[in-house]
Chain A
C-alpha cells in the first residue's frame, strides 16, 4: 500500500520535474500561431485592418480580437489561406477596411515638387523613403510595399501611386484559354514580297504535315 503510494508520488514528482524542465527547454518566444498567421499576411504594413502593421493584426487574429477578412492588400487569396490555417469558413473582404487591389502599386515622389519636409519618411512603415530635412526625398521602389501611408502626410501632395512596371523578369504567362489563343497577334507583314510560290516546292509539301507551334 505504502509502496504503491510512494511509487505513484515518486513518478508524479519525476514526470512533473521532467515537464517543468521541458517547458523551460522548449520555451517558444511569442505566439506560434500569430507567427504562422503573420507569414500568410502580405506584409504591406498599411494598417488598413485597423492595427498598426501586419504583425499586430496577426496577433489580434490569434487572440480572437480580429476577423480574418480585414486585409485589403491580401484580398481573397489571403482570406482563403487564413481560413485554411485556422479551420474556419472563408468570408468576403470587409468593405469597411477598403477594397482589394488588383495590381501591385509603388509610391513615386515628384522630386521637383518635394520640399523635403520628412513627413513621408516618418510615415513609411518599412523605411523605404530616403531623404533628409530640406533635401529631396525619393522612394526605394524595391522596398516600397505600396501601403499609401505616405500620401496623406505630404503637405504638397507630391506622392503618386503607380502600378509596378512588369519587366521581363516579372513576366507571367497567361492562363491558357479554352480556345487556343496566341500570345502574339498575327504578324503584320509591311512589305509582302509578291511571291506566292515558295522557293522550294518540295518544302510546301513537307510543311503541310502536322507541326505544332507554340507561343
Chain B
C-alpha cells in the first residue's frame, strides 16, 4: 500500500468531559477495502428505517420495478423515501422482522430481484450544484431519501432546513468513528475522499457557510492524511485530528472538541451556527446531487471473532443480514451473539433473517469467549465513577436510583433525555450495573405515559363532544315539541273561544300527547271570525279523506299482488320436485 503523503494536521485543542478508551478492535477490518456484494435473490425494505414518520408505499404487489425507483414516498417533513436497490418484482408488502432490540417486526416491501439489475433513468445530475438554489438541493436530498448515516438516521433535508433558518457558519464533518470494531467511515474516507469533500462543498453552498472542520480520531492517520490532501485546494476546509477517546463521535462531544462550544441542554448546534454531519452522509449527498443517485446502499463493517473473514462491504439496503454474513465467510462455530452497531451502543439481534437498513453501520458477531464475563450486578456503592466518565455531564447514579424506583418524573428532573446512551457509565461501573438498560427502560416508559396521556385527552374531548351533541339534539327535539304544543294550544283556545258562546260541548285532550279531539261543530258562533278555523277543519277532513282513499287503493293493490304471488308460488312448487330430482346432490347434501 502506498503511504499517503504526510501533511501537518492540527490537533484538536479542546476536550470534552468524561469518556473512556475501550479496546479499539479495528485492526481486523481497517485494511480491508470496501467490496460490493453479489446480487441477492430477495431484498426486504422496511417502510420505517429512519427517524420520523414511516414512508408510504407507492408500488403495488406484482409490480416490476427498476433499480433506483421510488418504492415508498416520504409522508411528512421528517420522513425519508425508500428506493429499489435493484430491479425486480414486488412480491409482497407485509410485516417482516426488522433489526430491533425487541425482535419486533414492521411493514416492509419485499423485492424479488430479477438478476438484471436494470436502473431507472437517474435524477438530473447537477455537476454544477452552485447553479441550484438551496431549496432545490434540499428537495433533491428529500427525493433521494438521504438520512444521517452516523447512527441517528435523521432525514438530512429536514436537518438542513432547520439549519438554514439559523444561519450556520461552520460545517463539522464527523469522521471520528469512535466506537470499537467499526471501520466503515475509515474506509470511506480513505477510498472516496473526493466524494466527501464535494458533498461537504454542496452543504457549504446550501447553508452559505464559510468553514468546514473535519474531525477524525487520531487512530486513523491514513484517513486524516487522505482527507487533508483531498481538501487542501479549498481554503474553507480544515482537517483536525481528534484524540481517540470514546465517545468523541457524539455530536455535542465533537463540537466541544473542535470548537469549544458547549451546546446546552435542549438547544441545537445550529442555533450556535454549527451543523454536524457524518462523512458518509455528505458522500451520499454528493451522489444524490452530482450523480443523481438515490440512497440505495451503505457501507457496513462485518466484524468480530465470530466472523470467518471480517470485512467491509457496500451493501444494498434491504439485503438480508444472513446474506451479508455469508459473504464474509459465515459464522465461526460457537458464535452466539450478533450485534447491530458497535459493542457500546449496538443491540443484539434476535435473528439474522432481518434486512440491512439505513442505520446498519456494523454487524458484530461474537462467541462467549470473545466477550468479557458479565458478572451479576452488585449494589451501587455511590463511587461516582459514572458521573466522572459521563460525556453528557449527567449524574448517572441518581438517574439509576430514580429509574430503578420508577420515579420517572425525577429522572426527567435529572435530565434523562440528555443521555445519549453511549454506555460509558455501564462500562466503568465497578458493580457491573446495566445502567443504560435502566435509562432505556425509563425513557420508553415515559414515552408510553405520554402516549397514554394524549390518548386519554383525545378520549376526553370526544366524550365531551358527544355529550354536548346529545344534549343539543335533546334540546332541539324538546323545542320542536314545545312549539307544536304551543300551536295546538293556540288553536284549541281559538276553537274554545268560538264554541263557548254557543254552549256547545268542548273537545277533549288526550293528556299523554296533548292531542285535541274536536267535537263536531254545531253552529258557528256569531261575532267571531272563525272562517279560517273552519277552513282549517275542512282542510283536515279533506286530507283525511284523501289519506283514507290512498290507503284503500294501496290495500287493493297489495291484495292483487299477493294473489299474483300465490299463483307464482304454486307454479314454483310444482316445478320444485322436478328440480330436486335433477340436482339431488344440491338439495340433499350428505
Q: Could you tell me if A213 and B437 are in contact, using CB atoms closer than 8 angstroms?
A: no
List, in ascending order, chain B residues with CB within 8 A of A145's CB: 455, 459
Q: Which of B104, B339, B369 touches A215 (beta carbons < 8 Å)?
A: B339
Minimum C-beta distance from A30 to chain B (A): 12
List, in ascending order, chain B residues with CB within 8 A of A209's CB: 23, 372
Say yes or no for A200: interface residue by CB 8 A criterion. yes
Say yes or no for A112: interface residue by CB 8 A criterion. no
List, in ascending order, chain B residues with CB within 8 A of A38's CB: 460
Q: Could you tell me if B427 and A212 are in contact, using CB atoms closer than 8 angstroms?
A: yes
List, in ascending order, chain B residues with CB within 8 A of A65's CB: none
Which B92-121 residues have a C-beta within 8 angstroms of A? 98, 100-104, 106
List, in ascending order, chain B residues with CB within 8 A of A170's CB: 448, 451
Say yes or no for B335: interface residue by CB 8 A criterion. yes
Q: Could you tell me if B444 and A196 are in contact, using CB atoms closer than 8 angstroms?
A: no
Q: Could you tell me if A215 and B462 are in contact, using CB atoms closer than 8 angstroms?
A: no
Q: Nearest B residue to A210 by beta-carbon distance?
A: B372
> In the complex, A134 Cα to B153 Cα: how many Å?
48
Q: Could you tell me if B345 and A212 are in contact, using CB atoms closer than 8 angstroms?
A: no
What per-residue 1/0 map shows which CB atoms of B330-373 lie under 8 Å from chain A? 11111111110001111111111000000000000110011110
Q: Which stretch, B254-262, B273-281, B303-311, B534-542, touches the partner chain A?
A: B303-311
What per-residue 1/0 map shows which CB atoms of B478-519 lie under 8 Å from chain A? 000000000000000000000000000000000000000000
Known: A203-B310, A206-B25. A53 touches B463 (CB 8 A): yes
Q: Which of B305, B350, B374, B460 touches A207 (beta carbons < 8 Å)?
A: B305
List, in ascending order, chain A residues with CB within 8 A of B456's CB: 41-43
Minimum C-beta distance from B545 to chain A (A): 34
Q: Which of A173, A186, A203, A213 touches B27 (beta carbons < 8 Å)?
A: A203
Say yes or no for A55: interface residue by CB 8 A criterion. yes
Known: A184-B103, A199-B309. A212 touches B464 (CB 8 A): no
Q: Could you tell me if A184 and B337 are in contact, using CB atoms closer than 8 angstroms?
A: yes
Minimum C-beta distance from A204 to chain B (A): 6
Minimum C-beta distance from B230 to chain A (A): 29
> In the complex, A106 Cα to B343 Cα: how many Å?
39
Minimum C-beta distance from A105 to chain B (A): 13
Say yes or no for A128: interface residue by CB 8 A criterion. yes
Q: Could you tell me if A168 and B463 are in contact, using CB atoms closer than 8 angstroms?
A: no
Say yes or no for B122: interface residue by CB 8 A criterion. no
List, in ascending order, chain B residues with CB within 8 A of A20's CB: none
> In the complex, A192 Cα to B306 Cα: how many Å?
10
> In the complex, A206 Cα to B437 Cα: how many Å?
26
Say yes or no for B458: interface residue by CB 8 A criterion. yes
> In the complex, A204 Cα to B445 Cα: how many Å?
39
Q: Could you tell me if A208 and B370 are in contact, using CB atoms closer than 8 angstroms?
A: yes
Say yes or no for B329: interface residue by CB 8 A criterion. yes
Q: Which stretch, A1-9, A90-98, A174-182, touches the partner chain B?
A: A174-182
Minimum C-beta distance from A196 to chain B (A): 6
What per-residue 1/0 map shows which CB atoms of B113-144 lie under 8 Å from chain A? 00000000000000000000000000000000
Q: Could you tell me if A192 and B333 are in contact, using CB atoms closer than 8 angstroms?
A: yes
List, in ascending order, chain A residues with CB within 8 A of B23's CB: 206-207, 209-211
Minimum C-beta distance from A92 to chain B (A): 20
Decide if the interface of chain A is mainly helix, strand, loop or mixed: loop
Known: A44-B459, A196-B332, A198-B332. A212 touches B372 (CB 8 A): yes
Say yes or no for B272: interface residue by CB 8 A criterion. no
Q: Could you tell me if A214 and B346 are in contact, using CB atoms closer than 8 angstroms?
A: yes
Say yes or no for B66: interface residue by CB 8 A criterion. no
Minimum C-beta distance from B386 to chain A (A): 13
Say yes or no for B48: interface residue by CB 8 A criterion. yes
Say yes or no for B440: interface residue by CB 8 A criterion. yes
Q: Could you tell me if B345 and A214 are in contact, using CB atoms closer than 8 angstroms?
A: yes
Known: A168-B48, A199-B309. A187 touches B25 (CB 8 A): no
Q: Nearest B residue to A194 by beta-carbon distance?
A: B333
Q: Nearest A residue to B470 by beta-carbon distance?
A: A122
Say yes or no for B244: interface residue by CB 8 A criterion. no
Q: Which of A166, A172, A187, A200 touches B338 (beta carbons < 8 Å)?
A: A187
Say yes or no for B221: interface residue by CB 8 A criterion. no
List, in ascending order, chain A residues with CB within 8 A of B27's CB: 200, 202-203, 206
Which A84-103 residues have a C-beta within 8 angstroms of B? none
Known: A183-B103, A212-B344, A213-B348. A55 touches B434 (CB 8 A): no
Q: Could you tell me if A212 and B22 are in contact, using CB atoms closer than 8 angstroms?
A: yes
Say yes or no for A54: interface residue by CB 8 A criterion. yes
Say yes or no for B199: interface residue by CB 8 A criterion. no
Q: Could you tell me if A211 and B25 are in contact, using CB atoms closer than 8 angstroms?
A: yes
List, in ascending order, chain B residues with CB within 8 A of A167's CB: 104, 106
Say yes or no for A126: interface residue by CB 8 A criterion. yes
Q: Could you tell me if A193 and B330 are in contact, using CB atoms closer than 8 angstroms?
A: yes
Say yes or no for A72: interface residue by CB 8 A criterion. no
Say yes or no for B436: interface residue by CB 8 A criterion. yes
Minimum C-beta distance from A120 to chain B (A): 14
List, in ascending order, chain A residues with CB within 8 A of B22's CB: 210-212
Q: Could you tell me if A184 and B463 are in contact, using CB atoms closer than 8 angstroms?
A: no
Known: A213-B343, A213-B366. A176 touches B466 (CB 8 A): no
What per-residue 1/0 map shows which CB atoms of A26-67 lie under 8 Å from chain B? 000000000000100111110000000111000000000000
Say yes or no for B180: interface residue by CB 8 A criterion. yes
List, in ascending order, chain B residues with CB within 8 A of A168's CB: 48, 98, 100, 102, 104, 106
Q: Could you tell me if B343 and A211 are in contact, using CB atoms closer than 8 angstroms?
A: yes
Q: Could you tell me if A180 and B344 are in contact, using CB atoms closer than 8 angstroms?
A: no
Q: List 20 A-B pairs, Cβ < 8 Å.
A: A38-B460, A42-B456, A44-B459, A55-B460, A168-B104, A171-B104, A180-B432, A182-B337, A184-B337, A184-B349, A189-B331, A189-B335, A191-B331, A193-B308, A193-B329, A204-B370, A207-B23, A212-B372, A212-B426, A214-B348
Closest 8 CB pairs of A and B: A215-B347, A215-B348, A184-B348, A193-B330, A43-B456, A43-B459, A209-B23, A176-B437
Residues of B near any A CB (own CB < 8 A)? 22-25, 27-28, 48, 98, 100-104, 106, 180, 304-305, 307-310, 329-339, 343-352, 365-366, 369-372, 374, 376-377, 423, 426-427, 432, 434, 436-438, 440-441, 443-445, 448, 451-452, 455-460, 462-467
Residues of A near any B CB (own CB < 8 A)? 38, 41-45, 53-55, 125-128, 143, 145, 166-168, 170-176, 178-180, 182-189, 191-196, 198-200, 202-204, 206-215
Further pairs besides A43-B463, A184-B103: 7, Cβ < 8 Å: A53-B467, A176-B434, A176-B437, A180-B376, A199-B329, A200-B310, A211-B25
